[in-house]
Each structure stands twice: as C-alpha cells, then as structure tokens.
Amino acid sequence: MSPRNDAIGVVDYGMGNLRSVGKALESLGFDVKVTSDASVLDGCRGLVLPGVGAFRDCMENLRKGGLLPFLSDYLSQGRPFLGICLGLQLLFSESEEFGRHEGIGFLSGKVVRFPAGMTEPRQGGGERRLKIPHMGWNRIDVTMDHPVFDGIETGSSFYFVHSYYVVPDDPAVVAARSSYGIDFTAAVGLGNRLAVQFHPEKSQSAGLRLLSNFGRLSREAG
Amino acid sequence: MLARRIIPCLDVAGGRVVKGVKFLDLKDAGDPVEVARRYDLEEADELVFLDITASHEHRGTIIDVVSRTAEQVFMPLTVGGGVRTVDDIRALLKAGADKVSINTAAVFRPEFVREAAERFGSQCTVVAIDARAVPGTPGRWEVYTHGGRKATGIDAVEWAARMEASGAGEILLTSMDRDGTRDGYDIPLTRAISDRVGIPVIASGGVGNLEHLADGLTAGGADAVLAASIFHYGEYTVAQARDFLRDRGIPVRPKTTAR
C-alpha cells in the first residue's frame, strides 16, 4: 500500500507538454504531483494521463518506465481517472497509427485515422477539403451524465489536435461525440473514469470547468 | 463543425511586446503575459509569440515569457522566431508552448522539420513561410528568409507541399508584400497554398480591417487568420472579429457558456 497524499497525480512519461495540465489544476487550487513514480501516483486521489505525440512512442515510454502494470491496476480499481488526447487512445486495445500497436487494452475497440479526402461544402459553392490534423475548436455533444461534465452543456467548444480517433466496441462507454467530416467519439466514461480526445488544459474556461470537476471528484471519491 | 481560428500575434523582443500595444485598461501594455491574459479574456482561439530578439544570447527571455504565460493562460500557444535546433524546440515545449514555428532553419536544413516532427509530433511542428510575389510572373511566389530580407529562389507553393511531406502539421503563411500595408492578405497566394496542402494554413500579413479576415477564410481558403495591429491598437476586439465572421456565415467558436 502506497502512502496516501491529497494530490492529483499527472503521469510523466516524457511526452509532450505536461506543464499545462499541471498548471491548470494548480491554478484551480489543487495539489499536483507530476511524476513517473508509480508508488507516488498510486497514493494520489486522482490520476491524469496526458499524452501528446505518437501512440507507439507513448506505449514504449510507459513500458520502459514500468508504468503499464500500475495503470492497468489503477484503472481496474475504478478510482478517479482522466485521460487526455493520447491518454484516451492508449486505453484501447489497438491503434493503426504507423502500423498496428497494442494499447493498454482497458477498453476494447481501436484507434483509427480520419479518412483521407473528407470534404465539406465551401461557402459560395463547391467542396472544401478537410485538413488533417483536426486542429482547433469544435463543439461536443455530451451524451453521458458524468460528474466531470457537470455544468458543461452540449454545444460547448473544446480545443482538439489529433489525426486519429477512438472507436469503442461498446457504444455505452461513449460520453461525448463530435463531428469532423464524420461523427467520432470525443470522450468515453466509465464510473469515476473519463477520457477525452480534446485538451481541457487548452480550452480556456470550459476546459478549466472540466478540470475543476475532475479535481472535486478526486477529492470526494479518491 | 470545426471553427475557423482567430489568432492574435505578439512580437516580443527582450521580453516585451513591441510594435506598441494600446489596450487602455492594461497596467503595463508591454508585458506579454498581461497582453496574453487580455486576449484570453476575449477568447482568442490561439496565441502566437514571435521572438524578434536579434541576438541569440537573449533567447532565455522568450523561454521566461512562455513559462510565465503558460502558468496563467490556458489556451494554445505557438512560439516562433530563431528556432534552429531540436534543443530550442524542447526548451520551448518544456516551458509550456504547444507548437513551435520553424522558418529560416527549415530553408537552410529541410531535414530539421522531419527531425522535429519525428521527435515531438507533427501537431507541434509549424512551418512559417515568408513569401513575396515574383515580379512579372502572376501566380508565382518566392520564399524569403531572415525576416523577409533574403530571397531563396524557392517556389513558395512547392515549398509548402515539401514541408507537409516532411511532417509539418501546419503552415503559417505570411505575405511579405502585404505585411504592414493594411491592404489585406495576399488572397491568390493563400488560396494557392491552402489548395495545395492537406494541413491547416494560417493566413498572415496585411490585415487592416475585419473584411480582410473574412476574405482570408473564404476566398483565401485559410483555416485560421493571424493579425497583430488591428487587435493591439484596440481598433477591434477579438469578440468583434468573431461576430463579424459569424454574420458572414463563417463557422467560428460560439462564446463560452460554462463559467
């Protein structure tokens, strides 16, 4: 049993900008520990798995850091968890990004790329090609009554940057949807766990609201 | 539907915003962090910091600016200017930047863009292209480096396609003919590059009014519009720009309701 602390743990596995999510939670008054030490993370009240970069590299870094068994255990215990971007995709069984790669496999389903050649009607006629990555602010439809979405209405906009999206086998885990050429899963939820494709730490007030909800959930349930 | 983005750009030198910023209610209009906070309140979609510090010895100041901004402002932040090495990128991302813009260094050593994309991901690798029309040859633009002072002989449209193939996730396209003129973006240039590449294009250079923003997004086909002076001098707020674009039927982000 790890020593308990009152912080929210941010899993540091050497990928991307981890500073923002930690700073955002701190600005909301929460204690944060950004670390790769599984025993410290295990003692936290809630866990954030951020992620920027390539799926394969992230899995490789988690494996090298010895974090995979810890993450699987943590997720199976139903404790407060927030996955962000790649931290959503990594929960699934496999990804087709640069070949086929196994994920953590907490949820069954896969991670696929937006199809090439998607278009939308161009103003004034004709078609406009949709660019990949899907980069920028898009609205979400909240489809699950989840405590971390408290006060966040359908139609709220969040900042996305991704070329791949998740396709869960079980539609019941879908917590929010969005649309970019096609409809895709923007969040999955299961009990105290939520994972989102967008970046709450980059989504101004709506994102801070979501992080604040997660911090509160962690205090209460973690 | 994905919203088109409105991106204020701050030129930073020696840790201060230059070119003058005239927000009336700011205590210190030259502090980039305070200006960033103001744009955050106005719900700008992203921010770009352009480090125009001449000498390499002062690079530390932009790191400090990014780091202080990232502690207070929770929106996407791109930093450009003088990015030459993988270490430069790592330091900026570590300080809290989300994307880094590469300009002159990409022309000198195109592999640098691939290295950056492989190491940090295409999503944070922006290539900035400064282009100028080739006189007497309509539909041709040439890439310039060193802040638009040195011609390279490289065709700008071909260059954009090559940078996409090298792993760039976004193109920041500035017309050197229009920069500072307030005559509007170079629409044919913007359209030519936006049609050519499958990654997002940010139009830059020449904005003098809100009509120009709309033109860049519709006729120019850009995914985002960058502007400096129309916002800095308080002529327009970001909210006014967004309302104007919405009235034109352009998809923009609705005002946030969650507080």
CATH (domain of B147): 3.20.20.70
Residue of B nearest to A55 (CA): B121
E strands along B146-239, which residues?
Answer: 150-155, 170-175, 201-204, 224-227
Residue A17: list chain B partners with CB under 8 A: 93-94, 96-98, 124
Interface with chain B: mutation pick from A57, A120, A156, A157, highest number of B CBs within 10 Å: A157
- pLDDT at residue number B21: 56
pLDDT, position A120: 86
- Interface confidence, given as ipTM, is 0.92
Nearest CA in chain B to A149: B258
Distance of alpha carbon A109 from the chain centroid: 15
**Which residue in B has a C-alpha nearest to residue A180's C-alpha?**
B1
What pLDDT sits at residue A122? 80
The low-confidence residues of chain A, meaning pLDDT below 70, are 1, 15-17
Domain range spanning residue B150? 5-247
pLDDT of residue B56: 62
- B139-196 pLDDT, tens digit each: 999 999 987 889 999 999 999 999 999 999 999 999 999 998 999 999 999 999 999 9
Q: Which residue of B has its CA nearest to A132?
A: B199
Average pLDDT, chain B: 91
- Which residues from chain A sit within 8 angstroms of residue B5, using beta carbons? 136-137
Element of type H or E holding B13: strand B5-13
Which pLDDT does position B149 carry in this prediction? Answer: 85
Question: What pLDDT does B55 receive?
Answer: 60
Residues sharing a CB contact under 8 Å with residue B240, sequence separation 6 or more, in sequence order:
B210
Using alpha carbons only, what angle is made at residue B248 by residues A181 and A157, rounded to the nearest 5 degrees? Answer: 45
3-class DSSP string for B31-73: CHHHHHHHHHHCCCCCEEEEECCCCHHHHHHHHHHHHHHHCCC
Per-residue pLDDT band for B234 (boundaries 50, 70, 90) equals confident
Q: Confirm whether B235 is domain-assigned.
A: yes
Instruction: Give the pLDDT of residue B258.
Output: 42
Paired tokens of B242: 């967004």
With 60 as the cut, is the pLDDT of residue B67 above it?
yes
Contact A131, A150 (CB under 8 A): no
Which tokens in the block code for residue B39?
């744009």
B130 is an active site residue: yes
Cβ neighbours of A205 in B, within 8 Å: 256, 258-259
Residue B17: predicted pLDDT: 86
Q: What's the pLDDT band for B252 if we cut at 50, 70, 90?
A: very high
Tell me whether residue B255 is in a domain. Answer: no
Residue A162 distance to chain B (closest CA, Å): 7
Write down the catalytic residue from B130, B179, B186, B215: B130
* Number of structural domains chain B divides into: 1
Instruction: Tell me whether residue B192 is in a domain.
Output: yes
Whether B27 has a pLDDT exceeding 80, the answer reads no
Query: Which of A10, A21, A128, A137 to mutate against chain B (most B CBs within 10 Å)?
Result: A137
Q: At what angle do helices B59-70 and B32-41 cross, to 10 degrees?
A: 30
Residue of B57 and A141 predicted with greater confidence: A141
CB contact under 8 A, B98 and A179: no
Q: How many A/B residue pairs have CB atoms within 8 Å?
A: 125
Query: Could you give the CA distance from residue A218 to residue A151 in angstroms, rounded to a whole number?
Result: 17
Is residue B252 situated within a structural domain? no
Q: Select from B7, B40, B74, B201 the residue whose CB has the most chain A CBs within 10 Å, as the one to mutate to test that interface.
A: B74
Among candidate residues B11, B45, B88, B223, the one labeled active-site is B11
Of B3, B94, B124, the CB nearest to A137: B3
Phi and psi, residue B129, nearest 5°: -120, 120
**Nearest-by-Cβ selection for A135 from B74, B200, B256:** B200
> E-strand spans in chain A?
8-11, 32-35, 46-49, 81-84, 92-95, 101-102, 107-113, 119-121, 127-129, 134-139, 141-142, 157-162, 164-168, 174-180, 182-190, 193-196
- pLDDT for position B59: 73
Report, as an integer, the average pLDDT of B52-62: 72
Interface mutation vs chain A, best among B2, B90, B199, B253, most A CBs within 10 Å: B2
- B3 interaction partners in chain A (CB closer than 8 Å): 136-138, 157
CB-CB under 8 Å, A135 with B170: yes
Per-residue pLDDT, averaged over B43-65, amounts to 84
What distance in Å separates the CA atoms of residue B203 and residue B186, rounded to the nearest whole number? 9
Contact residues on chain B for A129, CB-CB shorter than 8 A? 198
B75:A132 CB<8 A:
no
Active site residues of A: 85, 199, 201
**Scanning every residue of chain A, which has its alpha carbon at the shortest distance from the alpha carbon of B201?**
A131
Chain A positions touching B256 (Cβ under 8 A) are 156-157, 204-206
Residue A18 tokens read as 């981890």
Is B258 contained in some domain? no
In a domain, B254, yes or no: no
Q: CA A58 to CA A49: how far, in whole Å?
A: 11
d(CA B208, CA B235): 10
From the number of C-beta atoms within 10 Å of its C-beta (0-12, 13-18, 19+), residue A124 rates as: exposed
According to DSSP, residue B122 is labeled: G
Name the residue with tokens 């800095």: B232
Quote the pLDDT of residue A1.
Answer: 56
B120 CB neighbours in chain A (<8 A) are 16, 53
Q: What is the pLDDT of residues A123-172, one digit of tens each?
A: 777 888 899 999 999 999 999 999 999 999 999 999 999 999 999 999 99
Which residue from B40, B71, B96 is facing A17, i.e. has the nearest CB?
B96
Active site residue B11: yes
Q: Could you tell me the domains of chain A? A: 8-221 (3.40.50.880)
Structure tokens at B143: 């890439």
CA-to-CA distance for A20 and A32, rounded, in angstroms?
12
Look at residue B26 and tell me whether its pLDDT is greater than 70.
no
Binning chain B into helix, strand and coil, the percentages to the nearest 5 are 35, 20, 40
* Residue B259 pLDDT greater than 50, yes or no: no
Mean pLDDT of B99-112: 95
B259 domain residue, yes or no: no
Assess if residue B112 is contained within a domain: yes
